[in-house]
Amino acid sequence: MSGIGIPQPRVDGPLKVGGGATYAADVKIPNLAFGVLLCSTIVKGRIATIDTSLASAQPGVLDIITYQNCPPFQKPSKPISSQGQSLVPLQGADISYYGEHVGVVVAESFEAACAAADLVKIDYSPANVPSQFAMAKFAKAAGGARDTTWGDFAGALAKAPVKVDQQYTTPYLHHNPIELPATTASWDGDILTLHDSTQWLAGVRTLVAALLGMPPVNIQVLSPFVGGSFGAKRVTWPHVYLAAVAARLVRRPVRLVVTRAQMYTTLGYRPQTVQKITLGAQRDGTLQAFRHIAATTTSEFDNFIEPASAKTGMMYACPNGTFSRTLAKVDLGTPTTMRAPGESPGFFALECAMDELAYAVTVDPLKLRLLNYADVDPTTNSPWSSKSLKECYAKGAAQFDWSKRKASPGSMRDGPLLIGMGMASAAYPANRSPAAASVTLFADGHAVVQSATHEMGGGTYTAMAVIAADELGLDIGQVQVQLGDSNLAAASVSGGSRTVNSVGPAVEAAAIQVIDKLVTLAIADPESPLYQAEASQVFAAGGSLRLKNKPSSADPIQKILARHNLPSMQMTASTAPNAAASKYSQYAFGAHFAEVRVDPKFGEVRVSRYVGAFAAGQMINPLTARSQLVGGIVGGIGMALLEESVVDPNIGTFISRNLADYRLPVHADVPAIEIILVPEQDTVTSPLGTKGVGELGIVGAAAAIANAVFHATGKRIRDLPITPEKLLSLDASHPRAIQRRQHVRK
């Protein structure tokens, strides 16, 4: 029996529950020293003086590394912005943003390092120029960068009898994984070992090798478990190679853990976006013109783009459209990827605009989306590799009882509470990258799967065990999976929901090659009951090779290996996307249905019911797939109602830098979330039929909640998060608004 598609408990669950899972800051290494980062406290300027004398004299201090004694880093032959922030710290006195690393204190203990760090005296010469934090450049630059058009947008918009033209904004957001970013670095001669919390082993190895001027083969990166990331650990941040430098200078292993507060200033974030959506439609709601302009912030030294408008044009059938992206430079560190980068803020704007169009033409929001259903990708006219979005709409609406929704805003109540129902579509690219994996089958009947990919909590260990067990004809308990080691078969970054879609086919291919080799041995062996059988008629099941037309005729795998004096059989396979797949538009799809209850007196919003229906190809393990989708929706609840990183222009940095001040959804904020997995196969995207679900759940979730809030209150909030003060301040006649005005006048 195939284990694919059957819910499986995590094979790494006992390790995590029992405390046996080893993270980057857990590694036990003899003679370990501890590093603490020093970070700038000005936005822009220069270091005038550094006095480390008092700190250096403290007990246990081994070294204090600043730009005055840090070895120069090499200049990579290729730009590093795709692998890490291009600004390399400790190479001069200039300061470019608040929180930039200006030193590392290394001591015998973490406590000693912290105490010494407090005694380092740094004086700055702040730049005599105003800092930039606003999106003011948007008005000048919008529409002029990264434009894509199809049809005649301007002409179609001019003729459209119904128009929606609105601006939507999303704030700065931070990832907040439970595991803080950490690196434990150790040298053995010229060999560097990095225990690092990363979702890109190869990226760490490549960038650190380039900066330190050493062969990548001399660096081993280990990351068997990652305690959450959401994109924060995708690139190689400066603390990683600073730990390596510190370990080299003090000639002992060094552990460097980024603090929670430092994470907010030096480890990337989701940038602010300002988006303008323009829709032109017939009076029945049929789209004729679509425009999406998005501006996002980036640092002064990197051009990181949050591609909020890049994927929205494919969602609905529209003959004329244009979308563009532009950047506004601000004096912060470089942003980075955050769960569904681009799609998450982009679909908030798109799906809210579609909701506004539905009310403008008095058409049910779900019917409007079906009316504009895209049978091909409108931006390219490419066919879909597969698309089951209509089934998602139908099953989600039925489970949610969408038909019981009253059309008029503010028309549904439960006592004093206003009830609102909203929905939104979801889509995320079915990404796939080249990857390799090795599978070894041992004579005692167990197998080992190896690949340099990552387990960030999504269930990679379990998925790879299921895929290998399925092809090898073993029970999942007989398969051991080894991940998180850069010396294993190469794999890509675990980002863009691509891990199972990329590494899974490589595991499958390697397992098939192992079985093919065993079949060749068996059918050529007179002692085998499969002797002279056709290879195509042999399959693996129950730890044996069997004949399809006579399954009882079996040759145990252990006996085949024993007869040929083979302790094991190992094969390594590399796979890559099929060139023919480029002819198709490849996405996973879904539909969100949210119910909210709003207290009209206080503006408090609670999500009371939630149904999500998703079609994302073959589910290797529905249990962990559901968890990933639920996690994405929880992130969407936070995005819609709670999360916001505010920049104080007076000090030039984020004022919320801990889990007490940065509001995240807790249990009381999250209702029971129902997930519907719509069956789907997509062998164009992957031979396993998979697509990926890591980011799909958050796409559109914030919009569904925002649309539900409008349905409940009749008040459209276009600037996230939706807070009580925004809901109450919209109504000038509201008693609490009057009270506030009276208080201000007094």
Helix 701-713, helix 343-360: angle, nearest 10: 30
Q: Let me know if 695 is a catalytic residue.
A: yes
What string of DSSP letters covers 463-528?
A: HHHHHHHHHHT--GGGEEEE-SBTTSS----S-TT-HHHHHHHHHHHHHHHHHHHHHHHHHT-TTS
Helix 622-641, helix 343-360: angle, nearest 10: 70
Give the position of tokens 């081994």: 62
Distance CA 562, CA 379 (A): 58
Query: What values do phi and psi take at 558, rounded to 5?
Result: -60, -40
The per-residue pLDDT for range 326-365, each reduced to its tens digit, is 888 899 999 999 999 999 999 999 999 999 999 999 999 9
Distance CA 730, CA 733 (A): 9
The per-residue pLDDT for range 49-77, each reduced to its tens digit, is 999 999 999 999 999 999 999 999 998 76
DSSP, res 573: E
Contact, 479 vs 469, CB < 8 A? Answer: yes
The per-residue pLDDT for range 172-210, each reduced to its tens digit, is 999 999 999 999 999 999 999 999 999 999 999 999 999
**The tokens of 106 are what?**
């290394």
Strands 162-170 and 273-281: antiparallel
Buried b (16+ CB within 10 A) or exposed e, 655-677: ebbeeeebbebeeebebebbbbb
Name the maximum alpha-carbon separation found in the chain. 101
Distance CA 515, CA 511 (A): 6
Q: Give the length of the chain.
A: 746
Give the position of tokens 């302009």: 293
Helix 701-713, helix 622-641: angle, nearest 10: 50
What string of DSSP letters covers 359-372?
A: HHTT--HHHHHHHT
**Taking the alpha carbons of 510, 511, 513, 517 in that order, is the dihedral positive or negative?**
positive
pLDDT for position 60? 98
What the chain holds in terms of domains, given with CATH numbers, is: 33-129+188-228+233-265 (3.90.1170.50), 132-177+268-377 (3.30.365.10), 382-429+585-746 (3.30.365.10), 433-576 (3.30.365.10)
Catalytic residue among 179, 508, 643, 695: 695
Question: Which one, of 128, 150, 123, lies nearest residue 51 by Cα?
Answer: 123
pLDDT for position 135? 65
Compute the chain's Rg from CA coordinates.
28
pLDDT for position 254? 98
Contact, 624 vs 459, CB < 8 A? Answer: yes
Distance CA 716, CA 708 (A): 10
Q: Determine which helix (DSSP H) or strand (DSSP E) holds 424, and give its type and residue range.
A: strand 417-429
Segments of the chain with pLDDT less than 70:
1, 77-79, 81, 135-146, 730-746
Give the position of tokens 């003899």: 30
Strands 61-65 and 148-150: unpaired
Q: For residue 13, give every residue at least 6 positions away whose Cβ sits within 8 Å of its Cβ, in sequence order, or none.
A: none
Question: Which one, of 82, 119, 122, lies nearest residue 101 by Cα?
Answer: 122
pLDDT for position 142? 43
Residue 42 gets the label, from left (phi > 0), alpha (psi -120 to 50) or beta, of beta
Contact, 494 vs 675, CB < 8 A? Answer: no
Of the chain, the percentage scoring pLDDT greater than 70 comes to 95
Q: In angstroms, how far is CA 318 from the centroid of its own chain?
A: 29
Strands 447-450 and 647-648: unpaired
Strand segments (E) across 21-93: 33-39, 45-51, 61-65
3-state SS, residue 143? coil
